[in-house]
Structure 1
Amino acid sequence: MTHKSPVSRKNAAETVFEDLRGAILAGQLPVGTRLPSEAKLAERYGVSRPIIREAMRSLQTLGLTRSRSGSGSFVISDRQAPELAYGHYSARELIEARPFIEIPAAGWAALRRTPEQMARLMQLCDSMERQEDALKWVRLDSDFHFLIAEAAQNAVFARIVTDSRDALMRQSELVNLMADRRVTSNDEHRRIAEAISAGSEDEARAAMREHLDEVEQAMTWIIGQAPRGA
């Protein structure tokens, strides 16, 4: 782990994450090491504590660190977990299940959404395109996908998306940090919303399928990514 000068807000979490991840994978921070506190890391990198928190959450998602209540965060592995998990669900489970839920939900939403739901969906697209804060963007992203499930007027879709919401947010946060997909996601979300607005079931399903395919490709890359220089 090297000393860093202050970094730009746009790439701050990615810079902190990559530096800590690289140090762990290279053995510079051995298994069992207690990482510095959020406050000390924020001072070292010249960034805010929320930026440090974002990077630390992604390290935990990769299975490299674990937070122990009252004790701090510790390095628990020097190798990325072979199967990423977000609480009760794994990355594989989300990748396999989402197309069977969210693609038909988008199609039904195109046929059943109310004017109020449509207005809210467009507002969410606008908000995501303006949002610079990564965690706030992830929450908006979650709201977007939940609203589509709700607009489908199918309680089963809405219940499943609600149940997996925390896992989906953690996956979204990791994808945006490691694969830098936020701007591309905004474009994909806009196409989904416009297809729903047009009342086209086929176009809404196709737009959601394209979005989920892109997420799957990003997650496949993250799961299979080797340490830099390997």
Structure 2
Amino acid sequence: MRTHQVVSAWLEQELAAGRLHIGSRLPGERTMAERLGISRASVREGTRVLEALGVVRAGVGSGPQAGTVITGNPSLALDSALRLHVASAHLRVKDIVETRLLLETWAAAHASPGSPSLERAARLLDEMDRCDDGPAGFLQRDALFHVALAEAAGNVLVGAMMGSLRGSIEDYTQRLTARLPEWGATSQRLRREHRAILDAVLEGRGEHAAELVQDHIEGFYRESGIHSEG
């Protein structure tokens, strides 16, 4: 085990034992180095790795914001990893579509009609109707709408995965949009489909909402020419 990995292993043990939790501050750098038997440089490196993974937030200076606090933000690490894989073309379009279908249809089927996330989803749809800021603005709200639906299912990991996936393919989705034959017609159709999906979820018709989500996702990719390319 590399010395900086000792920090990660120690933190995992402390969290599992209940001695630390979300919001706890880590001991000072010198204390951790003495406790773990590694150098302060290794502690510093380990902390930076944990921060990149979204596990902790490192503060500087003094006062309430100082010190390293356990935050637990898994979407940060997932987002970074997925962005790199999408950029390197390591992830095939087919894999992206299938993953979206798996996550989003499940989330739609299990979304709670009373979830506060659905209020945010409704506001985003209203903004889509009011704002005419082109494909970029529309797609940004579209991504947030789909993430809100996923969060309404109440599964923290699914919500984090969905948020990371949507964020990592944002640029890719905008490139697909440029291939659409008529953006105005497509955006109107997507708005109608969004409303139908949200209405089905709010009415407790989860299975129907899942079917609508599947048609919605497949329709977008098909219209952008992905379906014909396999």
5 Å-filtered alignment, 1:57-76, equals: none
1:33-80 Cα offsets, whole Å, 9 max, x none, are xxxxxxxxxxxxxxxxxxxxxxxxxxxxxxxxxxxxxxxxxxxxxxxx
**Aligned-residue CA RMSD in angstroms?**
2.4
Please, which runs of 5 or more residues in structure 1 have no aligned partner? 1-84, 225-230
Amino acid of the residue matched to residue 214 of structure 1?
G
Amino acid of the residue matched to residue 153 of structure 1?
G
Counterpart in 2 of 1:205? 210
Greater CA radius of gyration, 1 or 2?
2
Of 185, 191, 194, which residue of structure 2 is paired with 1:186?
191
Please, which runs of 5 or more residues in structure 2 have no aligned partner? 1-84
TM-aligned CA distance change 1:166 to 1:90, over 3 Å: farther
TM-aligned CA distance change 1:206 to 1:190, over 3 Å: same
If the length of structure 2 is used for normalisation, what is the TM-score? 0.54
If the length of structure 1 is used for normalisation, what is the TM-score? 0.54
Kindly indicate whether residue 95 of structure 2 is the aligned counterpart of residue 93 of structure 1: yes
CA contact (8 A) 1:138 1:173 kept: yes
CA drift of 1:219 comes to 4.0
1:106-130 Cα offsets, whole Å, 9 max, x none, are 1111xx2435322222111111122
**Deviating 4+ runs (over 6 angstroms):** none
CA contact (8 A) 2:116 2:152 kept: no
Counterpart in 2 of 1:136? 137
CA contact (8 A) 1:192 1:204 kept: yes
The separation in 2 between residues aligned to 1:86 and 1:192, in whole angstroms, is: 28
Counterpart in 1 of 2:127? 127
5 Å-filtered alignment, 1:1-230, equals: 86-87=86-87, 89-109=91-111, 112-114=112-114, 116-133=116-133, 134-179=135-180, 180=183, 181-221=186-226, 224=229
Amino acid of the residue matched to residue 157 of structure 2?
V
CA contact (8 A) 1:129 1:183 kept: no
TM-aligned CA distance change 1:119 to 1:151, over 3 Å: same
Q: Percent identity at matched positions?
A: 21
The separation in 2 between residues aligned to 1:174 and 1:190, in whole angstroms, is: 25
CA drift of 1:222 comes to 8.0
Amino acid of the residue matched to residue 197 of structure 1?
L
Structure 1 residue matching 2:178: 3-state secondary structure: helix
What is the number of residues matched between the two proteins?
139
The separation in 2 between residues aligned to 1:148 and 1:87, in whole angstroms, is: 26
